Every structure is written in C-alpha cells, then in structure tokens.
Amino acid sequence: MCRSIKTLRPPALPEEATEDEIRAAALQYVRKVSGFRAPAEHNREVFDTAVEAVAAATADLLDGLEVRGSHRPTAA
C-alpha cells in the first residue's frame, strides 16, 4: 500500500480531516494505482476524475465511520 497515505480518522488525527488532506490521500492512491505521478495530457481528464471520485468516497467513508471511544463534535 502507499505508505505516504496517512490515517485520516480519530484518534490518528485529533480533528476531522480537512478537504486538502482527503484530496492528498486520493491523489496518492490514484498515482499508485495508475502508476503515473503525473498523467500525460491525453490521460489528464480521467486521472483528475478518478482523484475527485476517490476523494468523495473517502469523505463519505470518514463521515459515516463511528469510532468507539471517540466523540465527534455535534452541530449546534
């Protein structure tokens, strides 16, 4: 697995993961799977679409996780 992708849930992070952290993890994942650090121009659109899809799936995952022993802040 890509060692540069860090855990984005508590208690690994003291606060909720930021959009930038989620996108960085998604980018690392797509780079690893595709084998490209930066895609050629003819692959740019599909590469960027994959990064956005992985970032969205990651945000959904993190929003839905219930971590035992961790209190998520509630909206007031």
pLDDT tens readout for residues 61-72 = 999 988 777 655
- The pLDDT of residue 3 is 66
Asked which of 9-13, 22-26, 71-75 is least confident by mean pLDDT, the reply is 71-75
DSSP per residue, 35-65? T-SS--GGGHHHHHHHHHHHHHHHHHHHHH-
Residue 76 lies in a domain: no
With a threshold of 0.85, does the pTM exceed it? no
Structural tokens at position 8: 């984005």
Residue 6 belongs to what domain range? Answer: 1-62
For the chain, the domain total comes to 1
Residue 72 lies in a domain: no
Residue 75 lies in a domain: no
Asked which of 7-11, 45-49, 71-75 is least confident by mean pLDDT, the reply is 71-75
Residue 12 lies in a domain: yes
